[in-house]
Amino acid sequence: MVGRSTSPDRGGTVTGEHRVLEAGAGRIHVVERGTGPLVLLVHGFPESWYSWRRQLPVLAAAGYRAVALDVRGYGRSSRPQDPAAYRMLDLISDNVSVVRALGEDSAVIIGHDWGATIAAQSALVEPGMFRAVGLLSVPYTPPGGPRPSEVFARMGGEQEFYVSYFQRPGRAEAEIEPDARGWLAGIYSALSADTMPAADAADPHFVAPGGTLRERFPSGVLPFWMSQDDLDFYAAEFERTGFTGALNRYRNMDRDWEDLAAYAGSPIKQPSLFLGGTRDASTMWLSDAIDAYPQTLPNLTGSHLLDCGHWIQQERPDEVNRLLLEFLDNL
């Protein structure tokens, strides 16, 4: 362990004990609450450990050791300069290092958005370490298939899919970083059920030729689940770190495809749970993956679609907490 702190988070509440642990990236910042079986919580883009603020106290009160981390490149965790240092195998190694640094031999791993993919592939590659897995918003798809960059390049016709837009270093940063707070407010609103654009509006997941993602985001409105203090917390994190570390995750998808070729088509055999949103494009685009769960997640204990957008554990915290506890209590 490198260090620890119980300083208040923005808004004056102590969500848990802040610790910085030695890991493959150099250091990984975690927030820990409770005692009992370890539950590791992995966030997505563009978020932080703070995305789990409504789960940490509930899991702790139910008898679990809940630990939310900052993925490498985010928050107080290390931010390697080399873009290739954000490949999936390195993130899996970070998760293993965190479990060991916490003095544990195994954990249940739960992830949202990119965190869901990180959690799933951690369970796939390290089944002895991760004894169960919960996936939020992004369904499990086994490694393999066509090269990811080729798939994303074909999406959208004349428009550019956001994953392709994120590929070139510096390009998305030039859009986002001059006004990180405003951009974050826009993406959180664009993908939240109560503030997302109407069905007939331009899709915020795509970029028009010569355009930006920002121009398709709602402006002047926050989703019901996000306070100004919440937005300030996220903005302060990214204003300090920039977005390159976070965006480098997208810039390694072809490397991941190569690195994980030995696992092509492989199921995750541990107990698993999936929670998605009925108005979340990430869930709906991968409906075929959900249909394939009898083969890809043979020990799935539950698959639930909630009435919400992409930010599921923040939009529907009570329902998510109930379903997570049912899953955990029955392991």
Main-chain dihedrals φ then ψ at residue 169, nearest 5 degrees: -55, 135
Q: How many residues can be counted in the chain?
A: 331
Main-chain dihedrals φ then ψ at residue 259, nearest 5 degrees: -60, -35
Whether the CB-CB separation of 312 and 324 falls below 8 Å is answered with no
- Which residue in 70, 90, 94, 113 is the catalytic one? 113
- Which residue in 29, 43, 205, 310 is the catalytic one? 310
Nearest to 59 by CA among 330, 250, 328: 328
Residue type, 54: R
Contacts of 307 (CB under 8 A, 6+ apart): 193, 277, 278, 279, 316
Whether the CB-CB separation of 293 and 93 falls below 8 Å is answered with no
Rounded Cα–Cα distance for residues 309 and 313 (Å):
10
Residue 113 bears catalytic tag: yes
Q: Which residue has the tokens 């939240």?
A: 192
Rounded Cα–Cα distance for residues 193 and 12 (Å):
28
> Which residues are designated catalytic?
113, 310
